[in-house]
């Protein structure tokens, strides 16, 4: 059992709900996000509802790459080990390419991919030292094809982070270190509430994250969740005409 779990982007959305569901399973948690007051409120809630667990928090902007390495190490030292790291922090902002919003698209690219790389590097460094661990990278079904409008850069970054995770998995084949890439369908969160386009097939946060947590616990190489409709849709997305795929964005 992976007893000590670190989750980035844990102050809201999928990260916050993953923290609640793993706490209910009796896991110790290291929670990171920029909004430390929300993290601390979540910590107080979790230890009140599950008094047998330890929950530690740190303010962390994942775009401060030096801080990512230092914070992961500090949290490992505080809990004794880190058995699982969930690279979850990300941005969903963006704009149609060529409409003068390079600033928003650049911020999403840096946060979702470059900062994701920093988190993977920091986690795998600690796992190599321990010769054990489980890296979980949260991608998206958006990664399966290019999408239009405000989703274009987001989808591209999620494809990039998925390829990064697969490369890490390949490098670690045969070792005790496991790597899982999560491809969630559209799960309701603060992030996608700000996306300009209407989101199809969206599910509520709690059941969507329940499917994610169940898949993470199985530690597969890849998982598309929730099962319906995304496991049925995902294989077709690669081969459908682009005019059809663009309607899924």
Q: Count H helices, E strands: the chain?
A: 10, 7
| Tokens, residue 148 | 């239009």
Residues serving a catalytic function are: 154
Closest CA to 138 of 17, 2, 246: 17
How far is the C-alpha of 135 from the C-alpha of 31, rounded, in Å?
15
Instruction: Categorise residue 2: left if φ over 0, alpha if ψ from -120 to 50, beta otherwise.
Output: beta
- Transcribe 79-102 into DSSP letters: HS---EEEE---------TTSS-H
SS3 3: coil
CB count in 10 Å sphere of residue 1: 8
Give residue for tokens 């663009």: 246
């Amino acid at each position: 059992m992976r007893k000590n779990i670190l989750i980035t982007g844990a102050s809201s959305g999928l990260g916050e709900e993953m923290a609640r569901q793993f706490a209910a399973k009796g896991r110790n948690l290291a929670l990171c996000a920029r909004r430390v007051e929300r993290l601390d409120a979540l910590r107080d809630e979790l230890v009140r509802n599950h008094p047998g667990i330890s929950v530690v928090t740190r303010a962390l902007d994942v775009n401060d790459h030096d801080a990512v390495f230092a914070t992961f190490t500090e949290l490992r030292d505080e809990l004794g080990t880190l058995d699982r790291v969930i690279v979850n922090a990300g941005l969903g902002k963006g704009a149609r390419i060529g409409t003068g919003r390079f600033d928003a698209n650049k911020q999403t690219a840096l946060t979702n991919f470059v900062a994701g790389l920093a988190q993977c590097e920091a986690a795998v460094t600690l796992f190599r030292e321990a010769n054990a661990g489980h890296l979980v990278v949260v991608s998206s079904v958006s990664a399966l094809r290019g999408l239009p409008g405000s989703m274009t850069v987001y989808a591209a970054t999620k494809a990039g982070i998925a390829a990064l995770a697969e490369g890490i998995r390949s490098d670690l084949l045969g070792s005790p270190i496991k790597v899982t890439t999560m491809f969630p369908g559209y799960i309701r969160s603060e992030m996608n509430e700000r996306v300009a386009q209407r989101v199809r097939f969206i599910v509520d946060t709690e059941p969507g994250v329940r499917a994610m947590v169940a898949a993470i616990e199985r530690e597969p190489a890849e998982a598309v969740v929730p099962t319906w409709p995304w496991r049925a849709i995902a294989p077709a997305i690669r081969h459908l005409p682009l005019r059809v795929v663009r309607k899924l964005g």
